[in-house]
Amino acid sequence: MNDREFELNTIDFALVERWLTGWSLSRGVPLPRPSDGGLVVEVGKPEQLRRHVFLDAGQALQACADRIRDPHIFLKAAVEPHVLRQALPARWNIEGPGYLMMGPALAPDAVAMPLGYQARFEAQHGAQVVRVIHESQELAASGRIVLHGRTAIFDQIETAESHRRRGLGSVVMQSLDSLAAQAGVTERLLVATEDGRALYTRLGWTVISPWSTAVLPAALCG
């Protein structure tokens, strides 16, 4: 996928902020705040202390990167990985590609729950969570959604390895989408991995921007 594919799908700072607000509510961490031309979230987890999010890999992101000396602080931007690579010194690791995606206005066709599974719903942090449980009581798949204003943010869509290729990812997405439909939201957003993108595309979601991540290796810090 190249930059040209996104020419007709421009995004703005407000859209990124809506997604990041939903992500923060889903994870139970402080809401994003403006910081030096981007947004920052104090995640406060051992594996991720903080994340800085930018619309591009321009001067604001580069100046932020120059000030960071500690591991577990992430830079994220709505650019291709190679663009982020070119913008940062070699000491920064660039992770695999991600994709900011927008969901369809109309829900996809219903997907039947496979035999031996059932869905359970609960609230956690600022999210509604669906868990698909196997008859053995093993957690087979899960996902969460945050309803924030007129936007639904989908997050942490996961299927256990031993339960894949049974349509459970589609079941989770459909279950979450039904909550969005009930709330009357007009915008659906998520950030996908390379693997997840294939599922969401089949369900009618569209890539609206690349999404890239950089972090300092712990061995180089200190």
Q: Count each helix (H run) and each strand (E run) in the chain, helices first.
A: 5, 12
Is residue 25 included in any domain, yes or no? yes
Is residue 156 included in any domain, yes or no? yes
Is residue 92 included in any domain, yes or no? yes
Residues 91, 114: Cα–Cα separation, whole Å: 47
pLDDT of residue 111: 83
Helices (H), the chain: 13-27, 59-67, 81-87, 168-183, 194-202
Is residue 142 included in any domain, yes or no? yes
Residues 139, 51: Cα–Cα separation, whole Å: 29
Is residue 40 included in any domain, yes or no? yes
Task: Print pLDDT tens along the chain (222 aa).
Answer: 444 454 445 699 999 999 999 999 999 999 999 998 999 999 999 999 999 999 999 999 999 999 999 999 999 999 999 999 999 999 999 999 999 999 997 766 778 999 999 999 999 999 999 999 999 999 999 999 999 999 999 999 999 999 999 999 999 999 999 999 999 999 999 999 999 999 999 999 999 999 999 999 886 554
Of 178, 162, 182, 158, nearest in space to 111 by CA: 178
Of 98, 142, 87, 100, nearest in space to 118 by CA: 142
Q: What range does the domain containing 141 cover?
A: 117-185
Domain count, the chain: 2
Is residue 28 included in any domain, yes or no? yes
pLDDT of residue 221: 55
pTM, rounded to two decimals: 0.91
**Where residue 132 sits, what CATH number does that domain have?**
3.40.630.30
Residues 92 and 9 in one domain: yes
Of 61, 21, 15, nearest in space to 37 by CA: 61
pLDDT of residue 220: 56
pLDDT of residue 9: 52
Residues 79 and 137 in one domain: no
